[in-house]
């Protein structure tokens, strides 16, 4: 767990001190890819809280969701239709659903933990 926190801090510091500019032509692809990645991360956190996290499912979902979302955005650009908006809505809804389930799981664990403390 400490390694993950250190990696996160290093990533944040790199992002702050080495700015990356993304060409406007690719901004919709990057935005959709980031949302897909965030959706996979929140799904992994939710699964971890529930105790059924599996690395292979996480990695395949992370890569698969990101590639499909970017492909959808690309196809929409080729057709002249903003299909990336469908991916934004879908991943946005899933992120909020995962966050809600994580919140519920944490609250239920805390309630059961505080009840056990009172009984002892």
User: Is 99 contained in some domain?
Assistant: yes
**Which pTM was predicted?**
0.76
Nearest alpha carbon to residue 65 among 101, 97, 45, 41 = 41
| CA angle at 101 for the pair 58 and 11, rounded to the nearest 5° | 50
User: Is 103 contained in some domain?
Assistant: yes
User: Is 51 contained in some domain?
Assistant: yes
Tens-place pLDDT, residues 5-57: 888 899 889 988 988 888 998 888 889 988 998 999 899 989 988 888 898 99
Residue 115: pLDDT over 80: no
Residue 58: pLDDT over 80: yes
Domains in the chain, number? 1
Place of tokens 């395949």: 60
Residue 80: pLDDT over 70: yes
Nearest alpha carbon to residue 43 among 21, 30, 26, 60 = 60
Instruction: Judge whether 77 and 52 are in contact, CB under 8 Å.
Output: no
How far, rounded to the nearest angstrom, does the alpha carbon of residue 77 sit from its chain's CA centroid?
24
Model pLDDT, residue 114: 64
Place of tokens 């002249």: 80
Residue 112: pLDDT over 80: no
**Per-residue confidence band for 119, with pLDDT thresholds at 50, 70 and 90:** low
Residue 117: pLDDT over 90: no
User: Is 1 contained in some domain?
Assistant: no
Note down the domain range covering 110: 26-114
User: Is 84 contained in some domain?
Assistant: yes
């Amino acid at each position: 767990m400490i390694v993950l926190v250190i990696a996160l801090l290093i990533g944040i510091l790199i992002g702050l001190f080495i700015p990356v500019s993304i060409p406007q032509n690719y901004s919709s692809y990057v935005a959709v890819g980031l949302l897909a990645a965030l959706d996979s991360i929140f799904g992994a956190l939710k699964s971890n809280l529930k105790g059924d996290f599996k690395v292979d499912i996480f990695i395949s979902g992370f890569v698969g969701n990101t590639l499909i979302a970017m492909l959808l955005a690309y196809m929409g650009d080729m057709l002249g239709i903003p299909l990336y908006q469908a991916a934004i809505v879908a991943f946005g809804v899933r992120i909020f659903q995962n966050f809600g389930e994580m919140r519920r799981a944490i609250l239920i664990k805390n309630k059961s933990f505080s009840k056990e403390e009172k009984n002892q």
